[in-house]
Structure 1
Amino acid sequence: MESKQRDAGALPYGVVASSVTPFNQDGDPDISRVHLHIDWLIEQGIAGISPLGSSGEFPALEYADRQRIVDASLEAVNGRVPTLMGTHHYTTKQTVALSKYAEGAGATALLVIPPYYMVPSRTQVMDHYRAIAEAVQIPIMLYYNIANTNVRLHVDDLLQLHAEGAISGVKWSDPAAAPLFDLIDGSDNAMRVYVGVDSVAFEGLSYGAHGWISGIPSIVPKAANALYQKLAVEHDLAAARAEWRKLLPLVRFEFAGIMTGDDPHWFAVMKTTLNMLIGPEIGAPALPVQPLPALDHARLAELLSAVGYPAAADGQ
């Protein structure tokens, strides 16, 4: 493909939050409430917004609903911070179409997870991103997430896509830190690399990742930003350790279900947190993910208070 140089400078440094999608009691997205989380996040001082990621429950949404959320999210952001719009789909055709729609609507950049379920080959996945790059001019961030796609691209594949101008950055959502370090080193600071899983935020930011996009920034953004500032800006390792020790119990609670296959589900933790902190209008996850069991609410409230977010334990 012909190389297109994209402005990676449009991709922010720092803490980027994934905005959630509110659902009504019938399980349909409530577009009128999309702004609630976005407004709160911007007031909390985040560096960017990423709608329609995992936290936006994109697999639960029809194509037309995704378009509506693109529009509602951009209207809510209103240019206050950069917007990294999730435009993922299994098919290249649908991904390209939604990517073009998001670009036309005014998104700053795109966040695109590899095609999932059918597990295309590495070459086919790379061609998927090349096709998107041919269709749009704005930056594309590859959402590297083996657990949810079973797609394993090599670090050299990611660097090749960047060298071609197909991608401008990577959201690294994998608990393996060593290849993340290789990616940071290999890109020589020319490509934006974000930590995308909370459990390796400390390692990734201390090694030079440009930002952090994951669950914790979306629910306790000031606490996430405090860690980023200490590690990436002030380079104060002792102070950063203190911030991380405060956050780590919440991180472990958030992901306990992933380790065991039981409750709590990480996204139930997220939405219950936002119901506690913003209000019940945020709502529950789309089924089959169910709300956080009531017996876990008090523990969650304690963990939130410990990182500077006092919360009532009666959030739903």
Structure 2
Amino acid sequence: MPKPLFRGVCASTITPFNSRGELDLALLPAHVDWIISEGANAISPLGSSGEFPVMEVEDRKRVLEAALEANNGRVPVVAGTHAYSTQHTIELSKHAERAGADSLLIVPPYYMAPTPSQAMTHYRRIAEAVSIPVVLYHNVPLTCVDFTTDHIVKLFEEKAIGGVKMSNPEPDRICQLLQATGGDLFVYAGLDTVAFEGLCHGAHGWISGIPSMVPRAAQQLYTAIAIDGDLPAARAIWKKLGPLMRIQFSSYLSKGEGAHWFSVMKAVLNMIGPPVGDPQPPILPLQENYRKDIGKMLAELDYRVKS
């Protein structure tokens, strides 16, 4: 039987590099320990936050093996095995299954912008090659592939996917999928801007920046909505999380200048957790003018900010 998909908060773990741009996997165990101690229900190495595009296939395998070793079976591991080519995606997916990953997170083929029907065949071929569940990472801005609700439901009915991470700014897209499949398809809020609404609609979990930067606070929101059904408490938590979400996605939402979401993420992790290094260029470290405001936001969330 396939492994079950997780419920709750999933943190996308980072890939540490040194100042020369080389992998620094010695930093990874402390990062994974901190994420789990913060209450994450699952981890996802080599998602967008794992900077997978900057690495070749063999280095990505090394990163996943190191993350699995650091996790040591404590929480489910959703391995990012996306690549442009179906061949490389299958190679990475088979490796992830052999290495012990519980499921796979796979964004549609990017850059060449295949048609939805071509991208659906991509997922079908991956599913034929592995036995662990595939979570489709729906991310239109970075792939130019827009699966409709009908496309996703068809892939689910064919057993090509078991879940979907909806990084879509329309909360109703989450609602549509949940209603169309009766909740059998695991649907995750994949963008912090729709996390509150998505969880209220009944999303099975949350995989995005906030769970990866401040998992404890994300877990509090998930618990308030999904477990306790306490909307007043959830609103109070979101009032504190909202400013961090808005500054994190300021360049994304404006489609221009502002703080880059990943620069914010690595800066926050360095401010409150074990060191994780800087992003790989062309993404640059967070500008100093944002750090003071972010420090205040983190203190409001009861995190101790390192001097």
- Normalised TM-score (structure 1): 0.95
Aligned partners of 2:55, 2:272: CA distance in 1, in Å? 25
Q: How much has 1:82 moved relative to structure 2? A: 0.3
The count of corresponding residues between Structure 1 and Structure 2 is 306
Correspondence for 2:81: 87
Say whether residues 1:255 and 2:249 are aligned partners. yes
SS at match of 1:102: helix
Q: How much has 1:179 moved relative to structure 2? A: 1.7
Aligned partners of 1:243, 1:48: CA distance in 2, in Å? 21
Correspondence for 2:261: 266
Aligned partners of 1:67, 1:249: CA distance in 2, in Å? 36
Structural mapping, 1:1-316, within 5 Å: 6-7=2-3, 10-260=4-254, 261-279=256-274, 281-312=275-306, 314=307
1:68-104: CA deviation from partner (whole Å, max 9, x where unpaired)? 0110010011000000000000000000000000000
Aligned partners of 1:300, 1:91: CA distance in 2, in Å? 38
Instruction: Report the AA paired with residue 284 of structure 2.
Output: Q
SS at match of 2:236: helix
Q: How much has 1:248 moved relative to structure 2? A: 0.4
Q: How much has 1:223 moved relative to structure 2? A: 0.6
Kept in 1: contact 2:8–2:206 (CA 8 A): yes
SS at match of 2:164: strand
Over the aligned positions, Cα root-mean-square deviation in angstroms equals 1.1
Kept in 2: contact 1:36–1:282 (CA 8 A): no
SS at match of 1:115: coil
SS at match of 1:282: coil
Instruction: Report the AA paired with residue 75 of structure 1.
Output: E
Aligned partners of 2:56, 2:268: CA distance in 1, in Å? 26
Kept in 1: contact 2:174–2:201 (CA 8 A): no
- Normalised TM-score (structure 2): 0.97
Q: What stretches of structure 2 of length at least 5 have no aligned partner? A: none
Q: How much has 1:272 moved relative to structure 2? A: 0.6
Aligned partners of 1:32, 1:159: CA distance in 2, in Å? 41
Identity value in percent: 48
SS at match of 2:188: strand
Q: What stretches of structure 1 of length at least 5 have no aligned partner? A: none
Between 1:31-40 and 1:86-95, the stretch displaced more is: 31-40
1:203-247: CA deviation from partner (whole Å, max 9, x where unpaired)? 000010000000000111111011101100011111111111111
Aligned partners of 2:121, 2:222: CA distance in 1, in Å? 34
Aligned partners of 2:21, 2:126: CA distance in 1, in Å? 31
Aligned partners of 1:179, 1:206: CA distance in 2, in Å? 13
Q: How much has 1:259 moved relative to structure 2? A: 2.5
SS at match of 2:160: coil
